[in-house]
Amino acid sequence: MSSLLLQLRRIRNSIVWEWIKRKSPTDIAHYALKLAAANETSNAWKLLDKGIILYPRNTELIAAMRVIPNHYDAGFYEQYETGCLRSAREMLQILAAVYPFRSVVDVGAGVGTWLRAAAEHGAEDLVGIEGNWVKDNGNRFGGADYVYADLNAPLSIDRRFDLAISVEVAEHLNPDRSQGLVEGICRCSDVVIFGAAMPRQHGSAHINGRPHSFWIDLFEKQGFVCLDPFRPKVWYNSSVYPWYAQNTFLFVAETTRSRFASLPPATLVNVYHPLLVNRLVQDDVKAGVFDPAST
């Protein structure tokens, strides 16, 4: 067995931070592609996912991710479906108490978990926007209409909804897609539930982790105000996944702000949930860095 294959075997058996920290993004991408070529797709993704946490938004790692087969299969969604549904129910209940919604679009709907929760809260007109991969997924919520689209391309929705949702989606899209995504979501509704992974946040294919302030700025440019009705109420709620508790805000058009007068504005942002803090986050905070990819 060649020296390279021996190294790959060691990586496959024990993907550890200490190994990754000694490697450049070029090295990490190289080894991941070698693993994928050897039909070690799962381990290739593990390596890239850790690499992108260490080197946020690195172009070489993103390029490697784009050529390895998608790992969002039925098993992936089954792993999180129950917790996601429970989280969505808790958070949508907070909004429904002050703003009833009947029509809802979910941009990056996955298998429709948040749409299912919206239906439980009275929504009747439900649309999910997601890639073609979800067509044959047996977990897909049957109570919603699906529009199949590449979210890295401009959205082509020509109607308005009472509520638009896009949670834990934007971090999976190309970094240069950020502004266009927000523009498209804002064309769908004057009321938006939005949240996306922060830099260093563990997860799968988090190629576009950003501070909260980055997204807030993009929404403000579209004339939207950032409100914070969810985090104060669910921060320590064990029924809500910590990434939803950490990242989810309500954005409303300035023209409708008076309707949500009872909801607090977002005043404390770029804050990590205790369960999502890792050593890299701690080092960033000590250095006063909110966006490590910009330094």
Q: What is the pLDDT of residues 243-273, one digit of tens each?
A: 999 999 999 999 999 999 999 999 999 999 9
Residues in the chain: 295
Query: Are 57 and 178 part of one and the same domain?
Result: no
Query: Are 142 and 62 part of one and the same domain?
Result: no
The pLDDT value given to residue 1: 37
Query: Are 87 and 233 part of one and the same domain?
Result: yes
Q: What is the pLDDT of residues 42-100, one digit of tens each?
A: 889 989 999 999 999 999 999 999 999 776 655 666 666 789 999 999 999 999 999 99
**CB 191 within 8 Å of CB 256:** yes
For the chain, give the mean pLDDT. Answer: 91
> How far, rounded to the nearest angstrom, does the alpha carbon of residue 142 sit from its chain's CA centroid?
23
The pLDDT value given to residue 223: 98
| 13-17, 21-25, 225-229: least confident range | 13-17
Query: Are 58 and 82 part of one and the same domain?
Result: no
pLDDT of 170 higher than 80: yes
> Is 46 part of any domain?
yes
The pLDDT value given to residue 71: 61
| 79-83, 161-165, 197-201: least confident range | 79-83
> Is 249 part of any domain?
yes
Closest-CA residue to 122 (of 98, 94, 106, 100): 100
pTM (two decimals): 0.92
Average pLDDT over residues 170-188: 97
> Is 172 part of any domain?
yes
Query: Are 247 and 108 part of one and the same domain?
Result: yes
> Is 287 part of any domain?
no
Query: Are 100 and 192 part of one and the same domain?
Result: yes
**CB 248 within 8 Å of CB 230:** yes
Q: How do 163-167 and 103-107 pair as beta strands? A: parallel
> Is 294 part of any domain?
no
Query: Are 40 and 100 part of one and the same domain?
Result: no
**CB 119 within 8 Å of CB 143:** yes
Average pLDDT over residues 263-289: 96
Return the bridge partners of 71, or none: none
Query: Are 94 and 55 part of one and the same domain?
Result: no
Residue with the bigger pLDDT between 295 and 266: it is 266
Tell me the CATH number at 146: 3.40.50.150
Q: How many CB atoms neighbour CB 94 within 10 A?
A: 16
Q: What is the pLDDT of residues 120-130, one digit of tens each?
A: 999 999 999 99
Average pLDDT over residues 178-183: 98
**CB 243 within 8 Å of CB 276:** yes
| 150-159, 164-173, 251-260: least confident range | 150-159
> Is 292 part of any domain?
no
The pLDDT value given to residue 15: 52
Q: Which domain holds residue 45?
A: 3-67
Query: Are 158 and 213 part of one and the same domain?
Result: yes
> Is 129 part of any domain?
yes
**Count of structural domains, the chain:** 2
- The residue written with tokens 């896009």 in the block is 166
- Where residue 140 falls among pLDDT bands split at 50, 70, 90? confident
Query: Are 113 and 92 part of one and the same domain?
Result: yes
> Is 214 part of any domain?
yes
